[in-house]
Amino acid sequence: MAVTTNISIHLITSITAVDPKGFGEPLVLRLKSHYGDTDITLFFNVGDHGLTERLVKAINAAIVGPIEPPPMAVCPLEMAAYAAAAKTWSGL
């Protein structure tokens, strides 16, 4: 019987992939968010010795800088919603 695990990390501001060149060829995803930093280590069971290196290059090439917040809204109701969200997440 398979078990599904879901991980939810919110407000990520940057992501970096790292190839630590360790035993088992793990891939480390280094996430930064408003809640702190998180490292997720993935070990693949595929026997492809170049997979980790290719994934690191692809992920890091896709993320060229900090992840930008949503653009400023034009609609006054949307602007109010963003302001309310910012107030909530800042701890009032």
Domain that holds residue 35: 12-89
Residue 57 lies in a domain: yes
32-81 tens-digit pLDDT: 988 889 999 999 988 888 899 999 999 999 987 666 766 666 678 888 88
Task: Look at residue 3 and tell me if it is in a domain.
Answer: no
Specify if 2 maps to a domain: no
Looking at residue 69, its pLDDT comes to 67
Q: Of 7, 45, 11, which is closest to residue 26 (Cα–Cα)?
A: 45
Look up the pTM and report it. 0.66
**What is the count of structural domains for the chain?**
1
Q: Is residue 7 part of a domain?
A: no
- DSSP code for 50: T
Do 44 and 52 meet the contact criterion of CB atoms below 8 Å apart? Answer: yes
